[in-house]
Structure 1
Amino acid sequence: MANKAEKVDAAEFLAMLLQYSRDFHYNHINVNVRLNRNPAYTRQVMNVMLKRNSKKYGNDERLYASMTADEATKFLALINQLKEDMFASFADKITWHTDLLVREEQEFGYRQIRERDQYNNLEFELLL
């Protein structure tokens, strides 16, 4: 029997993602969860892309992480919770406080690119 996949620690993953983005001057974090179209299996895959649009540091786009959506459920739940807190307080940006970050606080925007559709695809962007 196969073991269940370990879930990614949400706070630690988000902290590493934000720290890496800041250190290497990425200003867009694009997260998409897509249904794999291969008929042999129907699991969902989450991809995290980093994008940099900068005259000073140049433009760049790279894949930061790719994992099954089952492994990323805690991360997606944390983002959803932060998003709901932002909307509840009528704020334009999310402010996240944690001891995992060097600066202990990070502010970032949230933009929905694609709502969940019939295949449960989801795409959103975190703006630093």
Structure 2
Amino acid sequence: MAKKTNKVEAERFLAMLLQYSRDGHFNHIIFSVRLNRNPAYTRQVMNVDLKRISKKYGNDERSYVSMTAEEASQILALINRLKEAMFANSAEKIVWESDLLARHEQEFGYHQIRERDQYDNLEFELLL
């Protein structure tokens, strides 16, 4: 019997991630979707890392979450919709409005680190 994967609620996840990164003074959120080549199984894994480059608060880098790409599909779709809206308006930053945010809106930039390759690996970052 196949297990049904639990998908993460995209808006709530992104709101919590943006709030946590803002409270911790992180200015880079790095998303990495890579193929995990474990001999027992092959699947894509999404890792989210937070990075801070700051003279005032110091430099720091930490892992926020790791999940399968299937579980993160709604998160990636939401970020893709925001990215498309940004490119459609020829803007350098995305303004995301949500009642889930304490500020009700958050502005952040999108930067592609690596394009999709033959294994469908992808890497990008959100700049706060």
| More displaced 10-residue stretch of structure 1: 75-84 or 36-45 | 36-45
Q: Report the RMSD for the aligned CA atoms in angstroms.
A: 0.7
3-state SS, counterpart of residue 21 of structure 1: helix
Q: Whole-Å Cα distance in 1 between the matches of residues 6 and 41 of structure 2?
A: 19
Q: In structure 2, what is the equivalent of residue 79 of structure 1?
A: 79
Percent identity for Structure 1 against Structure 2? 76
Q: In structure 2, what is the equivalent of residue 96 of structure 1?
A: 96
Tell me the TM-score normalized by structure 2: 0.98
Structure with the largest fraction of strand: 2
Is structure 2 residue 104 aligned with structure 1 residue 116? no
Tell me the TM-score normalized by structure 1: 0.98
Q: Whole-Å Cα distance in 1 between the matches of residues 84 and 48 of structure 2?
A: 21
Stretches of structure 2 lacking an aligned partner (at least 5 in a row): none
Q: Whole-Å Cα distance in 1 between the matches of residues 68 and 38 of structure 2?
A: 14
Q: Whole-Å Cα distance in 1 between the matches of residues 60 and 5 of structure 2?
A: 31
Q: In structure 2, what is the equivalent of residue 52 of structure 1?
A: 52
Q: In structure 2, what is the equivalent of residue 32 of structure 1?
A: 32
Q: Whole-Å Cα distance in 2 between the matches of residues 80 and 39 of structure 1?
A: 31
Q: In structure 1, what is the equivalent of residue 15 of structure 2?
A: 15
Is structure 2 residue 43 aligned with structure 1 residue 43? yes
Q: What is the CA deviation profile of residues 64-96 of structure 1, one whole-angstrom value per residue up to 9, with x for unaligned ones?
A: 000000000000000000000000011010000
Deviation above 2 Å: which 4+ runs of structure 1? none
Pairwise CA distance, 1:118: 0.0
Stretches of structure 1 lacking an aligned partner (at least 5 in a row): none
Q: What is the CA deviation profile of residues 89-121 of structure 1, one whole-angstrom value per residue up to 9, with x for unaligned ones?
A: 110100000000000000000000011000000
Size of the aligned set, in residue pairs, is 128
Q: Whole-Å Cα distance in 2 between the matches of residues 38 and 102 of structure 1?
A: 40
1:88 maps to a residue whose letter is A
